[in-house]
Amino acid sequence: MLGHRKGLKKLMLWLLRIIEKLFMLATVLHRKYRLAIVNRLTGNNPNVSIPKGGRTQQLLLEAMFLVMGKVAKMDGCVINQEIEYASSIMQLMGLNCHEKKLAIDFFEKGKQKDTDVFFSVSSLVRVIGKKSELADSFIKIQCRHAFVKGGLRLKEKILLRNVAEILGFQKAYFLDICAELSGYRETSNRNLRNFPNDAYRVLQLEPDVEDGEIRRAYLLMMMRYHPDKLICENLTEESLKQAQEKSVAIRSAYETVCGHRNIRV
């Protein structure tokens, strides 16, 4: 029995060494990918071509959008601006259609209470390195995302501070990032303090309207502007495009108001 346990222990140690070597190999092989993705995410060269990143690319995709989803949902309400920011990061990362779908799936998974984002970040840091340029870009992106609603709540701050620690950054550095974003926070506070007001205007409603009127207004406006309803009117391609954009704005406004009021969409 004792010999069997020793054998299992040796096998586990051997497997761990193999895994470590694979991570080290990935670090060497995907150096070009890491350099290219950093140039994109920092804005130094947003149009640089991105080579295949293999395991590094997969881990970055997973960790990036799991954490985003977790942060977005921590206050119970995901707003359109957070989704737009996540979409802009997908664009910067040069994701194809399949990868965008994966990113959205990870974002949704991150919103779930039982999702462990720290394991994903720990796996990522093993291939990109602690305090690396990519690690720095990662935590800054997550902090900017957290500030989209105009401020950093305590739960979000604790989560991101722990993420920063896993990435190799001390608490002081994390607080410096937050301080750098304070100007953005003040601007966002002015613009988003009453963020549903714009949504009410899109739906042509007053903020004190009864809950029952919200869905009615939404359905009436969708009947007016949904492109499928307008095809038979022989509109120009440009007019149909504008109608599509209008219908997207209506849907987004409706979801924003419902989220703010805790109404089921």
Which are the contacts of 109, defined by CB distance < 8 A and separation ≥ 6?
66, 69, 115
Q: Which domain holds residue 244?
A: 196-261
| pLDDT tens column, 33-79 | 999 999 888 877 877 888 888 899 999 999 999 999 999 999 888 88
Residue 7 within a domain: no
Q: Both tokens of residue 113?
A: 């209470």
Residue 3 within a domain: no
Distance CA 80, CA 7 (A): 54
Q: Looking at the structure, do residues 52 and 20 belong to the same domain, yes or no?
A: yes
Q: Looking at the structure, do residues 39 and 65 belong to the same domain, yes or no?
A: yes
Q: Looking at the structure, do residues 149 and 82 belong to the same domain, yes or no?
A: yes
> What CATH number is attached to the domain comprising 223?
1.10.287
Q: Looking at the structure, do residues 156 and 34 belong to the same domain, yes or no?
A: yes
Give the pLDDT confidence score for residue 183 in this predicted structure.
53
Rg (CA), the chain: 23
| pLDDT tens column, 121-168 | 999 999 999 999 999 999 999 998 998 877 788 899 999 999 999 999
Predicted model pTM? 0.62
Residue finishing a domain among 192, 215, 238: 192
Give the pLDDT confidence score for residue 20 in this predicted structure.
56
Distance CA 255, CA 246 (A): 14
The answer to whether the CB of 140 falls within 8 A of the CB of 38 is no
Burial class (CB in 10 A: 0-12, 13-18, 19+), 110: buried
Structural domains in the chain (count): 2
Q: Looking at the structure, do residues 169 and 202 belong to the same domain, yes or no?
A: no
Q: Looking at the structure, do residues 182 and 201 belong to the same domain, yes or no?
A: no
